[in-house]
């Protein structure tokens, strides 16, 4: 890839799961990567794994749950790393529980992380994409954005909102050369199933793996500029959600 074709990506939730797999896939394709997540230690491990690829990779610790700081810090990351051509909004939280028993604080945390932080990341990067007349924004939603699952209420709503955000942004920015894609995977075998906010017992061997989603993300990014995948749904063939 020539210097003129060199692209730079910012990936949130890059320390594990889909984010980490996407960073590795991007690096193999020659795309420089700004790695964003809460844990600098985990990010540094990912950055070290990318070193042999010859791309530039930097780690930036950022808690996206601190909503009031997200836009400013994302702008600072872009200023430090260089103009961002690709934004992958992958970070998020899983949450299970009946709507009637969901505390407002939990509801707000899910909406903040899965939806509002994405909005803030986008608004932090969008002006520079507009200035250059190009950019690709990929939002990792979920099959839950299209199909409500019982006891996943806050999560369902946050992902449905993210899908609507993606659709609206795509319409508003298409004429400015900015492509927007929403990816809606079924169950993916990541650390989300090990977190305290998710209390379900599913057969993880039947889920998609993060590398499969990363391949789709890379394929979307590498499409010719005049083409865009507006929305993509991918489900496990083995029968998981």
Which is it for strands 8-12 and 86-89: parallel, antiparallel or unpaired?
A: parallel
Beta-bridge partners for 178: 135
Question: Using one digit for the tens of pLDDT, what is the confidence trace for 75-125?
Answer: 999 999 999 999 999 999 999 999 999 999 999 999 999 999 999 999 999
pTM of the model: 0.96
| pLDDT beyond 70 at 204 | yes
* Mean pLDDT score, 59-68: 97
* Mean pLDDT score, 59-72: 97
User: Quick one: pLDDT at residue 2?
Assistant: 46
Phi, psi of 123, deg, nearest 5: -70, -20
Residue ranges covered by each domain of the chain:
8-234
DSSP-assigned letter for residue 148: -
Cβ atoms < 10 Å from Cβ of 168: 11
Beta-bridge partners for 232: 183
For residue 224, what are the CA distances in angstroms to 4, 88, 134, 221?
15, 18, 12, 8
8-234 CATH, one of 3.10.50.30, 3.40.50.300, 3.40.50.720, 2.60.40.1120: 3.40.50.720
For the chain, the average pLDDT equals 95
| pLDDT beyond 90 at 3 | no
Q: What's the half-sphere exposure (Cβ side, CA atoms, 13 Å) at 106?
A: 17
| pLDDT beyond 50 at 217 | yes
Task: Please report which confidence band the pLDDT of residue 141 belongs to, taking 50, 70 and 90 as the band edges.
Answer: very high
Question: Using one digit for the tens of pLDDT, what is the confidence trace for 160-200?
Answer: 999 999 999 999 999 999 999 999 999 999 999 999 999 99
Rounded Cα distance between 95 and 106, Å, is: 9
Helix locations, the chain, DSSP H: 17-28, 40-50, 67-81, 104-111, 117-132, 153-173, 210-222
| pLDDT beyond 70 at 4 | no
User: Quick one: pLDDT at residue 115?
Assistant: 98
User: Quick one: pLDDT at residue 51?
Assistant: 84
Return the active site residues: 155
| pLDDT beyond 70 at 227 | yes
* Mean pLDDT score, 35-64: 95
Tokens for 53? 């690829």
User: Quick one: pLDDT at residue 239?
Assistant: 67
Pick from 163, 138, 159, 162: nearest CA to 148: 159
Do residues 145 and 162 make contact, with C-beta atoms less than 8 angstroms apart?
yes
Query: Which residues have C-beta within 8 Å of that of residue 233, sequence separation ≥ 6?
Result: 143, 146, 184, 185
Rounded Cα distance between 4 and 210, Å, is: 30
Rounded Cα distance between 116 and 151, Å, is: 22
The angle formed by the CA atoms of residues 238, 239 and 241, to the nearest 5 degrees, is: 125
């Amino acid at each position: 890839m020539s210097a003129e074709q060199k692209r730079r990506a910012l990936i949130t939730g890059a320390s594990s799961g889909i984010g980490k797999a996407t960073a590795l896939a991007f690096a193999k394709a020659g795309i420089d990567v700004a790695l964003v997540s809460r844990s600098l230690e985990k990010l540094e491990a990912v950055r070290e794994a990318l070193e042999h690829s010859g791309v530039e990779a930097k780690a930036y610790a950022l808690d996206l749950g601190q909503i009031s700081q997200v836009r400013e810090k994302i702008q600072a990351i872009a200023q430090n790393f260089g103009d961002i051509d690709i934004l992958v909004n992958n970070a998020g939280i899983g949450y299970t529980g009946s709507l009637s028993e969901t505390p407002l604080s939990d509801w707000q945390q899910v909406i903040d992380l899965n939806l509002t932080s994405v909005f803030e990341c986008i608004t932090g990067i969008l002006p520079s994409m507009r200035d250059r007349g190009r950019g690709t924004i990929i939002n990792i939603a979920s099959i839950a954005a299209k199909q409500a699952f019982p006891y996943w209420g806050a999560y369902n709503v946050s992902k449905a909102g993210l899908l609507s955000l993606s659709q609206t942004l795509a319409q508003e920015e298409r004429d400015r050369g900015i492509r927007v894609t929403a990816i809606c995977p079924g169950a993916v075998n990541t650390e989300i199933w090990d977190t305290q906010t998710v209390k379900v017992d599913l057969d993880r061997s039947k889920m998609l793996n993060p590398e499969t989603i990363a391949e789709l993300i890379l394929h979307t990014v590498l499409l010719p500029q005049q083409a865009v995948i507006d929305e993509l749904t991918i489900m496990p063939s083995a029968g998981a959600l």
